[in-house]
Chains A and B, each alone.
Chain A
């Protein structure tokens, strides 16, 4: 023990602590532990069950031994196994040669929509009523995938979330060269209501401390960004008409999506749609708080 340690030990030596165990607590805990032990004992299988299991295993073993011991039966079994192996090999070779792997163009990808687990989880939390899930696939250009990420949280969220822009329909939408938000300009709420092609929805409930700071119209996209701020953190609500001139077609925004934007400053992202608009809520808040906002918007419609 060096000087430092000795010095500290001297310091604590004379300090008096009330650390005498209480016999009453000790006895009470002992009783509790005995109760737990007794319950554990009840859960263990009865000895009779062990005997039954043992007998069953023995009978199965003797059956196997009978097969192996009889040379004729053994021969038949081996021949059958050989035939089965040849059939399986032939089938798999056929399958391999007859069905070539699909060629996917470099600049597109196939996305499955309406993943049931994903939709259910988000819909349950947001109290929305999703339409019955139908498995569907579509090819989209990689440029049209705005955001794609695997979830890093609980297993039920471990599905990719996707926001797709552009269209699976015939309309061609040219993505802006620069980020959409940077070419917008700031509006007041009343101005935004007049200017928007759709009925702007302002969330009736906000997380405490947040106030509407500004509204930006995102030119060329029929979209609005409502920016809320609590002095330090920001929270953005993007609203976009589903059937506007430049927005998404209703059938293109097919997914309720939920993301944890782990590596960037975006925080949690929640995206959903109703009949007329698509909403994307992005903020450094926990999911339940974003859900509350989303619910208030859904309820106000």
Chain B
């Protein structure tokens, strides 16, 4: 059974851990290079975060599972070369996941197809709440109109609750650039969302 939960409940707050926790995690990462048990432990502690990120980017759980698998296979291949602490490891994972999601979107010419699938899915599914289902569709369609980089920024900021500095680290950019790109993407989203709602309300009025 799949449980449907509000994203607000699932928000993960990245907090800067101090002391022994950080040391433990860093040691775990170091051990994971040679020790499969340590790697599994590391994998288990990060699977949910990465899966959710992929789900929030792709809006489709089957695809999100595929991309998550791809991400962790990449991690297995490259963990020998990774040197850094827990925070850097998390950013590294996000970066791999971002690239994997973007590749996935590019490869399958996703934008248009996803829009179509999104519509079909929402239409075929019994909406648990019509208004919220409609909002989800609108959000999905609006987000897919953005460039992949802007999609990443929006998802990391509003669904994964990352700070601007953390997003900057994931995307290898400066916080200032991320700030301006975030403003730009929000402006575009605002425009698209306003148009979508306007169209929807017009349709509803006509139906009445």
Contacts and interface: CB of A to CB of B under 8 A. Distances in A.
Interface of A: 4-5, 7-9, 11-22, 25-26, 29-30, 32-34, 36-38, 40
Given A12-B159, A33-B72, A33-B73, A19 B36 contact: no
B117 interface: no
A40 B187 CA distance: 47
Contacts of B7: 12-13, 15-17, 19
Interface string B1-43: 0111111101000000000000000000000000010011001
B55 interface: yes
Query: Main secondary structure on chain A at its contact with chain B?
Result: helix
Given A11-B139, A26-B47, A29-B47, A17 B69 contact: no
Contact of B186 (A5, A20, A26, A29): A5
A19 B158 contact: no
Contacts of B51: 19, 21, 25-26
A29 to B, nearest CB: 5
B182 A5 contact: yes
Contacts of A12: 7, 139, 158-159
A27 B124 CA distance: 30
A172 to B, nearest CB: 54
23 contacts: A5-B157, A5-B186, A7-B190, A11-B139, A11-B193, A12-B159, A13-B8, A14-B6, A15-B7, A16-B128, A16-B129, A17-B4, A17-B7, A17-B56, A19-B5, A19-B7, A19-B10, A22-B2, A33-B39, A33-B73, A34-B36, A36-B76, A36-B77
Main secondary structure of the interface of B (DSSP, over half): helix
Contacts, number: 105
A4 B6 contact: no
Given A29-B47, A29-B72, A37-B36, A15 B186 contact: no
B169 interface: no
A21 B72 CA distance: 15
Contacts of A36: 73, 76-77
B52 A21 contact: yes
B107 to A, nearest CB: 18
B48 interface: yes
A13 to B, nearest CB: 5
A197 B48 CA distance: 74
Nearest to A41: B36
A166 B31 CA distance: 70
A20 B76 contact: no
A34 to B, nearest CB: 6
Interface in B56-91: 56, 59, 61, 64-65, 68-69, 72-73, 76-77
Given A33-B43, A37-B39, A16 B52 contact: no
B44 A17 contact: no
B135 A14 contact: yes
B64 to A, nearest CB: 8
A11 B47 contact: no
B56 A19 contact: yes
A160 to B, nearest CB: 33
Nearest to A20: B3
A16 B61 contact: no
B189 interface: yes
B198 interface: no
B4 A18 contact: yes
Given A13-B8, A37-B39, A19 B55 contact: yes
B183 interface: yes
B8 A18 contact: no
A104 B75 CA distance: 56
Given A17-B59, A30-B40, A40 B47 contact: no
